[in-house]
């Protein structure tokens, strides 16, 4: 049994960690669009990255909002997790998701010269694989929603069978899928170019710090409830922290070790590509 004084202190630390990871992860959205703006170019950034991000953060925003503000989802969660009836989703989770969705749209818009006037490479187009994944996720969400309507009981509010919380969980799993997949195209672009020029390392540093802060908050919240099913009850947040940390380490290795001396060669090649694109536009 945790003493009241210690429990209050732990809850205060949890709130601090929550806002700390929110600020860290939120700050990670700004270095890349700023770098694109300063370079007047998106060369070096994989367009698949923001494409998957838009879907992922839109799903995450909806799922966190449901856990926070929907009485139906709250009741269904409590039914399925009787030992820990209160979800570990916090307001900072929702705010982070909504802010991220807006920033992802802004970054994606920078690939349109008609909007920003930036130089965009002729190969910077969304891949067929990513488009397939994007639409497959949308179809999966719709399919689960239809299944809930068809097989749910008592107006889909009974959590014993198929219920609306299953749609919310599907949104969360789509977010997890996009988090895992969105990093792969960027890592591949860095590998092919043998450079990280045009792609900012600072979001990864913010991500790395935010990942650990998020996991620490989740661990404290679960410990306070004296039941670690609070972690399994919030798999998105747990998965986000772990996946982010792994990929951040990969990107740090690329930037600081593998390709640290190859920037000048790629910069010259991009200058030639930029000049060719401008010449083609004038013709």
Instruction: State how far the Cα of 246 lies from the Cα of 251, in Å rounded to an integer.
Output: 9
Report the percent of the chain where pLDDT is more than 90.
Answer: 49
Q: How confident is the model at residue 35 (pLDDT cuts 50, 70, 90)?
A: very high
Flag whether pLDDT at 235 surpasses 70: no
Q: Which two tokens mark 253?
A: 């290795």
Helix 235-253 crosses helix 164-193 at what angle (to 10 degrees)? 0
| Alpha-carbon gap, residue 207 to 205, rounded angstroms | 5
Q: What is the biggest distance separating any 2 CA atoms in the chain, rounded to whole angstroms?
A: 76
Q: Which pLDDT does position 1 carry in this prediction? A: 52
**Length of the chain in residues, anyone?**
283
Provide the pLDDT confidence category of residue 79 given band limits of 50, 70 and 90. Answer: confident
Give pTM, 2 decimals: 0.80
Tokens of 164: 């609306």
Q: What is the pLDDT of residues 130-166, one digit of tens each?
A: 999 999 999 999 999 999 888 766 555 666 778 899 9
The predicted-structure confidence for 62-74, as pLDDT tens digits, reads as follows 999 999 999 999 9
- Residue 108 reports pLDDT greater than 90: yes
Question: Per-residue pLDDT tens for 41-60?
Answer: 999 999 999 999 999 999 99
Helix (H, G, I), strand (E, B) or coil at 199: coil
Measured in degrees and rounded to the nearest 5, phi and psi for residue 41 equal: -160, 150
Is residue 207's pLDDT more than 70?
A: yes
What Å distances lie between residue 90 and 20, 58, 97, 140, 166, CA to CA? 13, 17, 11, 26, 19
Provide the b/e sequence for 127-148 (b: ≥16 CB within 10 Å).
eeebeebbeebeeebeebbeeb
As a whole number, the mean pLDDT across the chain is: 84
- Paired residues of 41 in beta bridges: 119
DSSP string, 71-91: HHHHHHHHHH-TTS-S----H
For the packed helices 48-69 and 164-193, what is the interaxial angle rounded to 10 degrees?
Answer: 160
Pairwise pLDDT comparison (193 vs 214), residue with the higher score: 193
| Res 92 pLDDT > 90 | no
Q: What percent of the chain has pLDDT over 70?
A: 82
Task: Please tell me the distance from the alpha carbon of residue 229 to that of residue 221, in angstroms, as a whole number.
Answer: 11
């Amino acid at each position: 049994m945790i003493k009241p004084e210690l429990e209050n202190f732990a809850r205060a630390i949890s709130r601090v960690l929550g806002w700390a990871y929110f600020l860290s992860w939120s700050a990670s959205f700004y270095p890349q669009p700023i770098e694109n703006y300063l370079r007047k170019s998106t060369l070096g950034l994989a367009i698949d990255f923001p494409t998957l991000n838009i879907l992922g953060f839109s799903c995450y925003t909806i799922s966190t909002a449901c856990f926070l503000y929907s009485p139906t989802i709250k009741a269904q969660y409590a039914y399925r997790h009787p030992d820990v009836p209160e979800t570990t989703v916090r307001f900072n989770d929702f705010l982070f998701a909504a802010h991220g969705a807006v920033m992802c749209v802004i970054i994606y818009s920078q690939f349109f010269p008609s909007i920003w006037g930036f130089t965009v490479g002729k190969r910077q187009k969304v891949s067929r694989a990513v488009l397939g994944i994007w639409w497959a996720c949308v179809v999966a969400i719709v399919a689960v929603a239809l299944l809930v309507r068809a097989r749910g009981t008592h107006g889909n509010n009974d959590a014993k069978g198929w219920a609306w919380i299953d749609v919310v969980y599907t949104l969360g799993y789509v977010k997890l899928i996009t988090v895992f997949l969105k990093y792969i195209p960027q890592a591949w672009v860095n590998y092919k170019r043998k450079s990280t020029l045009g792609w900012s390392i600072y979001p990864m540093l913010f991500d790395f710090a935010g990942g650990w802060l998020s996991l620490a908050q989740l661990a404290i919240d679960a410990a306070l409830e004296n039941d670690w099913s609070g972690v399994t009850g919030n798999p998105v947040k747990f998965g986000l922290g772990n996946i982010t940390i792994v990929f951040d380490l990969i990107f740090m290795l690329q930037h600081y070790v593998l390709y640290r001396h190859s920037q000048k060669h790629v910069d010259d090649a991009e200058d030639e590509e930029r000049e060719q694109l401008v010449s083609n536009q004038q013709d």
